[in-house]
Amino acid sequence: MSQPHATFVGMRIRQSNLKTFGDCARQMYYSDVLGLEGQKNGSLTVLGSVWHFAMEVYESYGRNLPLAETTFNYYWDNPEGLGLHIDFYHQRTTHEGLRKRGLAMLEQYHNLMPWKTGQHVGSEIHFIVPVGSHELEGTIDKLWARGGKNATLEVVDFKTAAKVPEKLQYNLQFTAYAYATTTKEFWVNVPGFEDGHERFGTYKRQGWWWHARNAKKYNAGYRTEKDYKRLLLAIDSMAECIEKDVYPLTIEGSACAYCPYEESVCGTEVTL
């Protein structure tokens, strides 16, 4: 587990909260400030978590598909082994139907081998790094290095949801991941690459979204200093809102359809 850095004086911002805050700050208020349970642990959320764990096993044991499949099957039937449980099944989903989906997503990834040339740097890399006067915490699903003329460090985010991203070029999640890899503190937690800060110092940073259901890669683009400035501004703004206890709800509304507090707390009924 990563440790806070010595000069930390501000707020610890989790990368997942940055996303929730961007989608709807009110949702973060219900979950993190009030600690409301909401209608959590839907079958699709648990499927995503179990699938991520099976992928970590797959990558860590030399692209071992049978082992990943066994892992998936075991934890899909025993999610409490990963600290999870299914409270409800989403419409048009069944336990066995989702098992097939999870196994198919593993098999498709294995057959396509979407990242071939280059080097696997790590999977499920947890980090806590300094950002301005704050700390940023998160986990990178997969980190891949491609050497040569256009040397690039690629951050891969695995997604199991049905939704296909529209604009990823300015997506702050990827900016947060890319930024983390530019700090010295990040590399302390990457076995075999403790010298990564120097080794990959000149490499460009790029993000990829792997859409597991469609078995397709989406390019999230490169990240540079100007993107990191925007990240810092976002984190500063978020920290200020938290300090002042200000959590506005989403105006646009599309996040409501996926929100665990939609009916129970907010009283809205947004359908997809």
Q: Please work out the total of residues on this chain that contact ligand SF4, with binding judged by CB under 6 A.
A: 13
Nearer to ligand SF4, 60 or 250 (CB): 250
Q: Closest separation between CB of residue 49 and ligand SF4, Å?
A: 21
DSSP 32: I
Q: Closest separation between CB of residue 208 and ligand SF4, Å?
A: 27
Q: Find the binder of ligand SF4 among 109, 174, 179, 261 (CB under 6 A).
A: 261
Rg of the chain on CA atoms, in Å: 19
Packed helices 65-77 and 95-112: angle between N→C axes, nearest 10 degrees: 160
Tokens standing for residue 158 = 């695995």
Confirm or reject binding of residue 159 to ligand SF4 (CB under 6 A).
no
CA 36 to chain centre: 22
Q: Find the binder of ligand SF4 among 250, 252, 271, 272 (CB under 6 A).
A: 250
Closest CA to 181 of 202, 161, 164, 166: 202
Neighbouring C-alpha atoms within 13 Å toward the C-beta of 107: 7
Confirm or reject binding of residue 46 to ligand SF4 (CB under 6 A).
no
Q: Find the binder of ligand SF4 among 14, 26, 52, 142 (CB under 6 A).
A: 26
Confirm or reject binding of residue 268 to ligand SF4 (CB under 6 A).
yes
Closest CA to 177 of 218, 152, 206: 206
Q: Closest separation between CB of residue 261 and ligand SF4, Å?
A: 5
Q: Which stretch binds ligand SF4 (CB under 6 A): 141-149, 172-180, 219-227, 262-270?
A: 262-270
Q: By the 8 A CB rule, do 95 and 89 touch? A: yes
Q: What length does the chain have?
A: 272
> Interface with ligand SF4 by CB under 6 A: which residues?
24, 26-27, 30, 249-250, 255-256, 259, 261-262, 266, 268
